[in-house]
Chain A
């Protein structure tokens, strides 16, 4: 759609002087609609489909029984994986996960892990022997920018939707029967990525805006305003003053996104 990157960039910067965007939003506005649908994949223990504008991300949670790490014998574990499915964008290639999908998975992972969103002690079945492993798998369905925020929201939404499967007496998991017991989710971390275009700060960049962004900063916060994860991306640097501004923006926006979650 965009042929001339430089002209497009000049246009976006000109608009931003008037706090305007190419799609009519203000710089600090998320696209609408923001939607979360739960239970979109019934074989998952929990699942959610997040829509932000035209960006759509599905996340599913699966549980398995496995061994704990030796240094944490009474805690379950979690693994986040992200698939940039090639159907979601002409920019994605089929094949093994690239660095961007791995980076995204790791940012989402840190937000959930470091906030203590999952009470991993409650995932212990038998100390030192058996714990629940929580697999959080993210699939991009349509890539129109800001995948990190959408994925982080999808991940916590899918966790909130998840119920334990039935554990039979022989120790096998019966995936056909879900219990009514929800996963022990005690925090709701959400992520906000702030994009720097020119010398202005934007939130929720769409795919076109992302192509001209010099730097971005993702900040994950829980409901207490504690920062659990940060990641600077892009080729340009950020000044301290800009980082402080980003934190102020993230405080407000992570809260706004959290309000879309159930429970």
Chain B
């Protein structure tokens, strides 16, 4: 039994919403348990500075930022080593889902803010950002869904909380997965994991990401259903 009573393969309650930042070209909110991420996408737009321009494909930029008050001990506002690494792995998790050659000489910016944190923030960031990219109308091969799996008290579990992460001996594996393309686009591990358990963990990540994928698709559809309703009202 897990500290919050969930089954090993049970994720926390998930909420997803598309179109949460009016000024952005695309945006989304992804909430899993007490972790909340909001993502805004700007672009495609001209590359700045111009020398970074790629004549063949898009320049994707990602910025991951935690609100100073999203964690129990205040975090200094602004980037740090952790957020710079996470911004990079998030970018690499999203890139395989984008038709990059559709946007030569262009830049797409993805900004993610963590409003409230209870572990799994980079995965929530990816799940939110993938929806925001789709909402911005970016040509995509697939949607990226992400969740952490891990080993807690010798059990393979999905969607660890901070409490579980802090248990002695816990191993944490943040995973992003493209359910249609069947490819993993983020894979990190922090801890100790017997090689035999990796297969089990990946299987659990896959089935969990497939569930997230359905929630993401529904959130995207809901935005457009709502737009249609509003248009019919007028």
A interface list, Cβ under 8 A from B: 40-45, 47, 54, 58, 60-62, 64, 81, 83, 85-90, 94, 96-97, 135, 137, 139, 141-144, 175-176, 207
Inter-chain CB contacts under 8 Å: number: 91
Chain B residues 11-41 with CB under 8 Å of chain A are: 21-24, 27, 34, 36, 38-40
Interface of B is mostly: loop
Of A61, A62, A88, A139, which contacts B40 at CB under 8 A?
A88
Q: Is B73's beta carbon under 8 Å from chain A?
A: yes
Would you mind naming 17 contact pairs between A and B with Cβ atoms under 8 Å apart? A41-B70, A42-B34, A43-B72, A54-B22, A60-B70, A62-B68, A62-B69, A62-B74, A64-B74, A83-B65, A85-B111, A87-B27, A87-B38, A87-B111, A94-B111, A142-B22, A175-B73
The 8 A-B residue pairs with the shortest CB-CB distance, nearest first, are A60-B69, A87-B40, A87-B111, A175-B72, A44-B69, A62-B74, A137-B68, A41-B116
CB closest chain-A residue, reference B65: A85
Q: In the complex, are the beta carbons of B27 and A43 less than 8 A apart?
A: no
**Residues of B contacting A88 in the complex (Cβ-Cβ under 8 angstroms):** 21, 23, 40
Interface residues on B, range: 20 to 34
Q: Is B184's beta carbon under 8 Å from chain A?
A: no
Q: Is B117's beta carbon under 8 Å from chain A?
A: yes
**Residues of B contacting A89 in the complex (Cβ-Cβ under 8 angstroms):** 23
Q: In the complex, are the beta carbons of B78 and A141 less than 8 A apart?
A: no
Q: In the complex, are the beta carbons of B72 and A61 less than 8 A apart?
A: no
Q: In the complex, are the beta carbons of A142 and B116 less than 8 A apart?
A: no
**Residues of B contacting A176 in the complex (Cβ-Cβ under 8 angstroms):** 72
Cα distance, A97 to B74, chains bound together (Å): 18
B interface list, Cβ under 8 A from A: 21-24, 27, 34, 36, 38-40, 42, 63, 65, 67-74, 77-78, 109, 111-113, 115-118
**Residues of B contacting A41 in the complex (Cβ-Cβ under 8 angstroms):** 36, 67, 69-70, 115-116
**Residues of B contacting A62 in the complex (Cβ-Cβ under 8 angstroms):** 68-69, 74
Task: Tell whether A86 pairs with B69 under 8 Å between CB atoms, given A43-B117, A142-B21.
Answer: no
Q: In the complex, are the beta carbons of A81 and B113 less than 8 A apart?
A: no
Task: Tell whether A94 pairs with B63 under 8 Å between CB atoms, given A83-B77, A87-B112.
Answer: yes
Q: In the complex, are the beta carbons of B23 and A144 less than 8 A apart?
A: yes
Q: In the complex, are the beta carbons of B77 and A137 less than 8 A apart?
A: yes
